Amino acid sequence: MSQTVKISEHELTNLGIKAFCKLGLNPVDSAKVVKILVLADLFGLSTHGMSRVESYGERLIVNGINPRPNIKVERVAPAMALLDGDNGTGPLVGMHSLEAAMELASEFGVGVVLARGSNHFGPISPYSLIAADKGYASIIGSNATTTIAPWGGTDARLGNSPLGFGVPNPGGKHFLLDMAMSVVARAKIRNAMKRGEDIPQTWATDQKGLPTTDPKSALDGFLLPMGGHKGYGLALMVDLFSGLLSNAAYLTHVKSWQDNPGEPQNLGHFYVLIDTKFLGSSAWLSKKMQDFASILTESPPANSAHPVIVPGELELSKLELQRREGITLSADTLAIIKKYAGEI
């Protein structure tokens, strides 16, 4: 673990905008990208936050990502649009998609945007938060570079595609869920290897597709989806909605940004937004959401040191704390941002 520094949301945002402007984005687009990445850092999701300026930057420099995309929204039906991200920076395409879907939902009750021509768009929870703050419930997904073998198969043919849900709690804590499909992230397997420990048989397979407890074999093999065939099915459904229906790439058609940094990935996303104003008042929703949370958190904990929590609670508490006291960021990440921003 590298050294960490504290930085305010305001300062990190300004530095980030400067960095993306130097990488060729215009100021408005830079601000949209940085909004998502800084929210990720505020949530404590540092692997999906401003640290991404490094990989995004490498690809922007070699034109693997288009810094000045011409993003087009095609309204294929009254409440549904196809969005062409023109290989723009992922969170920029993501923000355009979100905004278009919210606009449709505010008029029709529900709005769907299927995006193609995109790249890694950060975590999902920042989008769900922005939507929930405005009263929208959301179902959002994206496909991803292939890292998972089909259930029972022996080579990587599907991505660890994230799926997220958000339900607003006006004036209180929204319910936010942002999940990838593997049982654990690769980092957890790397940590077990460092400690010389075996891993549970449910985490990963070796190169031959057989379950393994050896972290080294697991890192040479494939992550296993949560719930076995259920997670496999869910990952495919996310890819069908975000990749296939949107006319983006899917499964092995998605190019690896690590192997091919200079080529477009053509990732896809899907956004389903529901405007809760049509379902009832803010007071109605807030009362229900409070009741819903209480029923759960009042279950006596199995371990008194770990009371029951609800989805999004940890991230939203961290956001409040870090908005007040500053964001904990790795010193290395800050140095990279400053380098791109031309400040060192």
Binding residues for its own copies restricted to 11-70, rule: CB under 8 A: none
What residues from 203 to 222 belong to the interface with its own copies (CB under 8 A)? 205, 208-210
Q: Which stretch in 27-35, 36-44, 119-127, 230-238 sits in contact with its own copies by CB under 8 A?
A: 230-238
Between CA 63 and CA 81 the distance in angstroms is 27
Q: Is 283 in the site for its own copies (CB under 8 A)?
A: no
For every residue of 307-330, DSSP letters joined together read ----TTHHHHHHHHHHHHH-EEEE
The helix/strand/coil state of 166 is: strand
Q: What contacts 334, CB < 8 A, 6 or more positions away?
A: 5, 7
Q: Is 279 in the site for its own copies (CB under 8 A)?
A: yes
Q: Is 158 in the site for its own copies (CB under 8 A)?
A: yes
For its own copies, the closer CB: 62 or 295: 295
What residues from 238 to 267 belong to the interface with its own copies (CB under 8 A)? 239-241, 244-245, 247, 250-252
Among 5, 73, 79, 321, binds its own copies (CB under 8 A): 79
Q: Is 185 in the site for its own copies (CB under 8 A)?
A: no
Q: Please, what is the minimum distance in Å from the beta carbon of residue 150 to its own copies?
A: 4
Structure tokens at 276: 């809760």
Q: How many CB atoms lie within 10 A of CB 281?
A: 11
For its own copies, the closer CB: 93 or 139: 139
- Each residue 101-130 as x (binds its own copies by CB under 8 A) or -, in order, gives ------xxxxxx-x----------------
For its own copies, the closer CB: 133 or 155: 155
Between CA 138 and CA 272 the distance in angstroms is 6
> Phi-psi category of 225—alpha, beta or left, where left has phi over 0 and alpha has psi -120 to 50?
beta
Q: Is 175 in the site for its own copies (CB under 8 A)?
A: yes
Q: Is 78 in the site for its own copies (CB under 8 A)?
A: yes
Between CA 101 and CA 166 the distance in angstroms is 14
Q: Is 133 in the site for its own copies (CB under 8 A)?
A: no
Between CA 329 and CA 277 the distance in angstroms is 37
Among 179, 185, 193, 321, binds its own copies (CB under 8 A): 179
Sequence-ordered strand ranges (E) for 160-205: 163-167, 175-179, 204-205
Q: Which stretch in 2-10, 188-196, 285-293, 335-343 sits in contact with its own copies by CB under 8 A?
A: 285-293
Q: Is 196 in the site for its own copies (CB under 8 A)?
A: no
Q: Please, what is the minimum distance in Å from the beta carbon of residue 158 to its own copies?
A: 7
Between CA 323 and CA 6 the distance in angstroms is 11
What residues from 303 to 322 belong to the interface with its own copies (CB under 8 A)? 303, 306-311
Most distant CA atoms of the chain, gap in Å: 57
Structure tokens at 106: 């505010």
